[in-house]
Every structure is written in structure tokens, then in C-alpha cells.
């Protein structure tokens, strides 16, 4: 099957003959004897049959449109405006490769330049690459970069203990080859990064990473101070931020970040069961930093007639030129995801991004208030999107009871953070409905 994708199947023999071959087998005569095999695979199907089959399989998934869901913990249900989806499905964007030939790829190049520019505005750092795989790999690349900036003489990278287990696992795997020592700084009794402990670990570190809201959703109050401590110790300061915060919270660049990272797919992209996503990677306008940056960067230049044009630039950092000495191995990135986030950002504008942040902040506060009626909130403070709630009962029992009522509760974090006991992260965004919170709290009153 699939003949409808293969125009020359009908002319196969003619074409073979024309170039002096008598059979297809002859084209494979360089393959060692016996290596060509019959595969044990299903037969192909008609498009209609596949359509029916996959629709049936996918209908076995229960979507967040069908059940109130309070899951967050690094992946959030945001609404994607219809025109964003519509635009990135334009085949000229969708079916193009990386823009190796700039003259015929100006559309994608400009769209990516605009993405870089908008993220530069959000993060307050003027140099942004055209995407990493996701936020987690972006942190890992920042760790490796800070070590390179110290010419390998410092190998310690400091992260908060209150970080997503996903991200932590990625950082560990990515930095093992370079023999980095990853040091975790715990939270204090208020859930904030423990400044005294930070001071103990920061010595001789290549970089210090902190998030503007930690894994528990708690807004980090001392970002600027943490940066000062890092800098005093000669470490690079890496700040992680959810872009949807940055309409209302100060830009990482203004808070002292040398490098900022984040997750672009929170804007303009659906959850897609966790992927694709796109990592934001931004740095100060400093040649030393730019030279050590990973990933593709789009620059503005001019064409032979002096007209403005865009092109992939500063490529001598990259694998196709520097090979083993490249700043990263990344080649294909998450370009279309990045463009979707840019289109969404352009639609929001400064006012919309502020409003979005405010709505999320208020919805989170409301969720926290209501959760407080039925559970203990381990830390006081300002929350963005995620709120931890601690229960007396094993959370698995509560989860079961909620699911039985058609509600998807929060993400259990007791496994990764046993010191927090039976705690789950519940999340709100602009998509959260009051009725959902209502049914959740009513259910929790019964079962928790």
C-alpha cells in the first residue's frame, strides 16, 4: 500500500531499463548475500481504514476537555487560539527543512528572528537562540556552557532541590560525560531557596540555577540576591522562567541573569502528551557568552542589493563545522513550536501577556484558597500555576476517589519529595473553570 505516495512505481521498469538495470535487485547488488530479508510486518491499509483505526485508539484517551483536570507540574493546559494553529499548519512552514538556503527560506527565518526577538523582550536578554528541545535540556546546556566558560576549571553546577524530577534527570544525564558535579540546594522552612545553604555550596561552582517559581509553584522571592551570591563566587547565573509569568514578573535579565531558560511551548502549543516542546535559551549581549551558546541563531543582515534579509549565523559554534568541539550536538531543533509560541505572543502583545499572567495568578490564588479548606498548604507565599496540597490520607486513595467522580486530581510528589508526605501539586491556568474547582473541592470534602 501507500502507492499513492510513489509516482514512479508505475514507471519503475521503464526507468530501470533507461539507466541500464534489469531489475531492482541489481540496484541492491552491493548488499551482502542473504542480508535482504522479508520483513514480518502487517500489510498496508487504505487511508480510510487507518483513519478509523487511529480515531478509535485515540478515543481511548480521556482528554482534559472531558474531565476537569488539575494536572500541571511542568505541563499545563493553555488555550491555543485557532489562528495560531491555522498559521503553523501552512505547508510552506510545516514541510520545510531547516533554512539552509536563506534566499528561498526568508519566511521561516524571519518568523524565527521574530521569535528570538519576542523572547528577548520577555526574558530581558537580547540574544536568544531559535530553540532547544525543551526547558530541561536548555538547563543542561546552560550547565555545560557555564563549565566551558570556566574552561573546564570549575565543574560544579548548583540547582535547587525544589526542581522538577524530569528536569533534574535530564541535567544529570546530559552532564555525566563532562563529569559535572550537580549540587542541590534545599528549600528553607518557607519553601524558598535556602540562602545560607546556597552560600555553602556556591564556592567554586561554574553556575547557579534558580527558577522564578519553583517546582511547587512557589514564587522565588530572592532571585536577585541569589544572583548576587552566584556572581560574588564567580559563577554564572542561570534563571529559569515560565514565559507566561513574564508579563507581570520582572525579566530574568533585569534580575541579573547571565543565561535564562524556559519553556516556549506553554504559548501557542497544545500539551500533546508531553511533546513536542521547545526550550528558550537566552544570554546577555556579551561575545564571550554568545560564542559558547548552543543551538541555531538567526541573524539579520542584507542581501546583494542591500535589502534586509535573514540567515542562520554564528555557525562556527555548531556541530556541522566544529564537530567534536562544537558547543552542542543539537541540529534539528523545535522551530515550528517556537514559531507557534511567537504567533501567540504577537497576538497577546504586552497587554495580553500581562492579563494572561494576572488571570493565572488569580486563578492559582483562588485554587489555593479553596484547597486550603480541605488540605494543608505546606508553604505560605505567592504561587503561580502549581499549588501543593498535603493530605492526611494516602494520596493514591484520594486520586482514585476523584477519578471515580470524573475528576483528575493533582500530581503526586511524595515519591520524589518524601519529606512533604502525601502531597500533590494541583494546577490552575487561564483555562481553569470555577465549576471545576467547585466539584473538586466538594469531592475532596467527601473523600480527603
Partner 1 sequence: MFRQAKWDEPLIFELSREGRVGYTLPKPIEDVDVEIPEKLRRKSKLGLPELSEPEIVKHYTRLSEMNYGVDSGIYPLGSCTMKYNPKINEEIAGHPGVAYVHPYQDERTVQGALRIMWELEQWLKEITGMDRFTLQPAAGANGEFTGVSIIRAYHLDNEEPQRDEMLVADSAHGTNPASAAMAGFKVIEIPSTEEGTMDLEALENAVGERTAGLMLTNPNTLGIFEDEILEIAKIVHKAGGLLYYDGANLNAVLGKVRPGDMGFDVVHLNLHKTFSTPHGGGGPGSGPVGVKDFLKDYLPVPLVSYDEENDRYYLDYNVPKSIGKVKELYGNFAVMVRALVYLKVMGKEGLKNASEIAVLNANYLTRKLLGTKGYELPGKKLRKHETVFSAEPMKKETGVTAMDVAKRLLDFGLHAPTVYFPLIVHEALMIEPTETVSREEIDAYVEALKRISEEAYNNPEVVKGAPHNTAVRRVDDVLAAKKPVLSWRMYLELKEKGEVDY
Ligand X SMILES: Cc1ncc(COP(=O)(O)O)c(C=O)c1O
Question: Which residue of 328, 379, 388, 420 would you call a contact of partner 1, by CB under 8 A?
Answer: 328
Residue 281: contacted member of ligand X, partner 1, none (CB under 5 to 8 Å, by partner type)? none
Please, which residue, 95 or 332, has the CB nearer to ligand X?
Answer: 332
Please, which residue, 35 or 196, has the CB nearer to partner 1?
Answer: 35
Cα separation of 78 and 64, whole Å? 11
Distance set, CA 433 to CA 360, 367, 427, 439 (Å): 12, 10, 12, 10
- What are all long-range contacts of 298-305, with beta carbons under 8 Å and residues at least 24 apart? 298/109, 298/112, 298/113, 298/116, 298/130, 299/113, 300/113, 303/103
100 binds ligand X (CB under 6 A): no
Please, which residue, 9 or 331, has the CB nearer to ligand X?
Answer: 331
Residue 345: contacted member of partner 1, ligand X, none (CB under 5 to 8 Å, by partner type)? partner 1
Q: Which residues ranging from 15 to 34 are in contact with partner 1 (CB under 8 A)?
A: 15-16, 18-21, 24, 27-32
Distance set, CA 211 to CA 46, 86, 161, 193 (Å): 49, 33, 11, 10
324 binds ligand X (CB under 6 A): no
Phi and psi angles of residue 282, each rounded to the nearest 5 degrees, phi first: -130, 145
CB of 37 to ligand X, least distance (A): 24
95 binds ligand X (CB under 6 A): no
332 binds ligand X (CB under 6 A): yes
418 binds partner 1 (CB under 8 A): no
Does residue 260 contact residue 238 with C-beta atoms inside 8 Å? Answer: yes
Quote the cell numbers at residue 205.
Answer: 561552582
Give the other-Cβ count within 10 Å of 6's Cβ. 9
User: Cell match 489555593: residue?
Assistant: 368
334 binds partner 1 (CB under 8 A): yes
337 binds partner 1 (CB under 8 A): yes
226 binds partner 1 (CB under 8 A): no
Whether the link from the prior residue into 276 is cis, omega within 30° of 0, is yes
Please, which residue, 146 or 363, has the CB nearer to partner 1?
Answer: 363
Angle formed by the axes of helices 135-149 and 165-176, nearest 10°: 40
Question: Which residue of 24, 331, 403, 404 would you call a contact of ligand X, by CB under 6 A?
Answer: 331
Q: Which residues ranging from 73 to 92 are in contact with partner 1 (CB under 8 A)?
A: 73-75, 77, 81, 83, 85-92
419 binds partner 1 (CB under 8 A): no
Please, which residue, 12 or 190, has the CB nearer to partner 1?
Answer: 12
Number of residues lying near partner 1 (CB under 8 A): 213
Report residue 257 CA to chain centroid gap.
19
Query: Which of 43, 240, 280, 82 lies closest to 159 in space, CA to CA?
Result: 240
SS3 182: strand
151 binds partner 1 (CB under 8 A): no
CB of 330 to ligand X, least distance (A): 7
Question: Which residue of 148, 155, 166, 233 would you call a contact of partner 1, by CB under 8 A?
Answer: 166
The site for ligand X (CB under 6 A) is made up of 331-332
Amino acid at each position: 500500500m501507500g502507492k499513492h505516495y510513489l509516482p514512479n512505481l508505475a514507471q519503475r521498469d521503464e526507468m530501470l531499463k533507461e539507466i541500464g538495470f534489469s531489475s531492482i535487485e541489481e540496484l541492491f547488488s552491493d548488499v551482502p548475500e542473504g542480508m535482504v530479508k522479508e520483513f514480518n510486518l502487517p500489510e498496508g491499509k487504505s487511508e480510510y481504514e487507518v483513519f478509523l483505526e487511529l480515531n478509535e485508539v485515540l478515543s481511548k484517551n480521556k482528554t482534559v476537555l472531558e474531565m476537569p483536570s488539575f494536572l500541571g507540574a511542568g505541563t499545563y493546559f493553555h488555550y491555543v487560539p485557532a489562528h495560531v494553529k491555522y498559521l503553523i499548519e501552512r505547508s510552506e512552514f510545516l514541510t520545510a527543512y531547516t533554512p539552509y538556503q536563506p534566499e528561498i527560506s526568508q519566511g521561516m527565518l524571519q518568523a524565527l528572528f521574530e521569535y528570538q526577538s519576542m523572547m528577548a523582550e520577555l526574558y530581558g536578554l537580547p540574544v536568544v537562540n531559535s530553540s532547544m528541545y525543551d526547558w530541561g535540556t536548555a538547563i543542561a546546556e546552560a550547565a555545560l556552557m557555564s563549565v566551558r566558560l570556566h574552561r573546564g576549571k570549575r565543574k560544579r553546577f548548583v540547582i535547587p532541590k525544589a526542581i522538577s524530577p524530569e528536569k533534574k534527570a535530564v541535567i544529570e544525564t546530559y552532564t555525566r560525560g563532562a563529569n559535572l558535579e550537580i549540587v542541590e540546594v534545599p528549600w528553607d522552612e518557607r519553601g524558598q531557596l535556602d540562602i545560607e545553604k546556597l552560600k555553602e555550596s556556591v564556592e567554586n561552582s561554574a553556575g547557579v540555577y534558580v527558577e522564578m517559581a519553583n517546582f511547587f509553584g512557589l514564587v522565588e522571592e530572592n532571585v536577585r540576591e541569589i544572583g548576587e551570591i552566584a556572581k560574588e563566587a564567580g559563577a554564572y547565573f542561570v534563571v529559569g522562567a515560565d514565559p507566561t509569568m513574564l508579563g507581570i514578573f520582572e525579566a530574568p535579565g533585569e534580575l541579573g541573569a547571565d543565561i535564562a531558560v524556559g519553556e516556549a511551548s506553554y504559548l501557542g502549543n497544545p500539551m500533546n502528551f508531553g511533546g513536542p516542546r521547545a526550550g528558550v535559551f537566552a544570554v546577555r549581549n556579551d561575545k564571550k557568552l554568545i560564542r559558547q551558546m548552543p543551538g541555531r541563531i538567526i541573524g539579520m543582515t542584507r542581501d546583494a542589493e542591500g535589502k534586509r534579509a535573514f540567515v542562520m549565523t554564528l555557525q562556527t559554534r555548531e556541530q556541522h563545522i566544529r564537530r567534536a568541539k562544537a558547543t552542542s550536538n543539537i541540529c534539528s531543533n523545535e522551530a515550528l513550536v517556537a514559531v507557534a509560541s511567537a504567533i501567540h505572543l504577537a497576538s497577546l502583545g504586552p497587554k495580553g501577556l500581562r492579563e494572561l499572567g494576572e488571570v493565572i495568578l488569580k486563578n492559582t490564588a483562588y485554587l489555593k484558597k479553596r484547597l486550603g479548606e480541605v488540605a494543608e498548604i505546606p508553604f505560605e507565599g505567592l504561587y503561580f500555576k502549581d499549588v501543593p496540597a498535603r493530605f492526611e490520607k494516602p494520596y493514591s486513595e484520594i486520586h482514585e476517589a476523584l477519578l471515580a467522580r470524573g475528576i483528575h486530581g493533582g500530581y503526586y510528589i511524595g515519591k520524589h519529595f518524601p519529606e512533604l508526605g502525601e502531597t500533590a501539586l494541583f494546577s490552575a491556568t487561564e483555562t481553569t473553570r470555577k465549576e471545576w474547582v467547585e466539584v473538586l473541592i466538594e469531592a475532596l470534602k467527601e473523600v480527603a
